[in-house]
Structure 1
């Protein structure tokens, strides 16, 4: 996983008071308590826009905002990020800072098809913790801000999905050749796959927990049947993701 060297021309550097987030996100008492416990400071650090990165806006991505959150805890409740996403009407990339470490976090965010004034925010994807002074890479090459947004999100989606699937550290080139002939899969489709794997993994874990707690033999048999079915569904999802990885590998290697 990498960090990006945000362009100097895109620097914004504005501290955002928590109460401004509360106002725009209609925060209740529980959410405000989360901010108090977990968030030290919120900085709107960079603004990636046509005038700052010399890339054209698209219908869905007019600008990309970079928010840097200094946390008081090593884990940040996703509802904190979701509240900020609700308050800011642009796609966001978060840099989460704790101690001397930093990681990227983001959810795929798009205008609602039913109401373009509203935004749809998906699940959050996280990178690995890196040292604050780790070297940073230049922004990915892209033709417009929509493509840049996809290129910033893709490593987070693929990295988090890989952590959920045993054995995905192997090169995707070892997958069957048939997958290399498949049509390229969009970021939205990859995110849908990743979210489905995450949800099914949680379901498998919940069933395992029920099985561990159950003492009656006949109920354990029924739960085992349910567990096998859930594992099979998870295997089918992860097999599909492996095919996607192989296709992407072929594109990156030979495109």
Structure 2
């Protein structure tokens, strides 16, 4: 359960119009803000000034946003836009029908533009009562708090068999890169399996099955 000190509370409502009126967004993304989101609240600021923790080298401040939804899903491009425009790391708490999902992206500085970020991968929990969210404030500095939030939300996706046996953790970047490769392989395996099932010619089936074996071996190496 996420229980944050009172010193971190910010509790400011952010008009969603600020995002789609002041930024260059497509009509489709504009509709996502209007139709899918009821309200956005900036709930907490996690920083050295609000917590008794050390500064981070990569994460200077971690924000907690609560997004109240009009439906049980949100176009992920909305989060990508918010993360791109706000130069801080963000933990999202989505609320719909009294239940919550925690979302967080692996956010890095953009090499193309100063003071902007890029997020390649998002992780999220299932829909749960708020007090059942697998979140806890854990870490001696802002970097480690952010790292632990990602690992808590991602769960087994960022834990390999080798890590679980040895107890040693890969760096967050390495764990995320491995997971991205794993997710890509899963899509490739599914695509080849569909081709195998639909292919009528035996010789082509053999080639596809050979390709499938190689992909599955690569998957075993990553897990």
Q: Do they fold alike, i.e. is TM over 0.5? A: yes
Match of 1:144 in 2: 141
Residue in 2 that maps onto 1:75: 73
Instruction: List gaps (5 residues or longer) in structure 2.
Output: none
Give 5+ residue unaligned stretches, structure 1: 174-178, 239-255
How has the CA–CA distance of structure 1 residues 226 and 64 changed in structure 2, closer, same or farther, with 3 Å as cutoff?
A: same
CA RMSD of aligned residues (A): 2.6
Normalised by the size of structure 2, how large is the TM-score? 0.86
Going from structure 1 to structure 2, the CA distance change for 1:121 and 1:137 (only over 3 Å counts) comes to closer
The number of residue pairs the alignment matches comes to 222
Please give the residue correspondences for 1:46-85 in structure 2 after superposition, counting only pairs within 5 Å: 46-85=44-83
- Is 1:225 aligned to residue 217 of structure 2? no
Mapped to 2, the partners of 1:36 and 1:206 lie a distance apart of 35
Equivalent position of 1:209 in the other structure: 194
TM-score (norm: length of structure 1)? 0.76
2:176 matched to which residue of 1? 191
Query: What secondary structure sits across from 1:76 in the alignment?
Result: coil
What secondary structure, in the 3-state scheme, does the structure 2 residue paired with 1:53 have?
Answer: coil
**Of 103, 124, 135, the match for 1:105:** 103
Alpha-carbon distance in structure 2 between the residues aligned to 1:155 and 1:227: 32
- Between structures 1 and 2, the one with greater helix share: 1
Q: Deviations over 1:157-213 (max 9, x none)?
A: 333457xx9xx7xx934xxxxx56xx7421111111111111111111122223333
Quote the Cα distance in structure 2 between the aligned partners of 1:90 and 1:97: 22
- State the 1:234 CA deviation: 1.0
Contact 1:127 1:160 in 2 (8 A): no
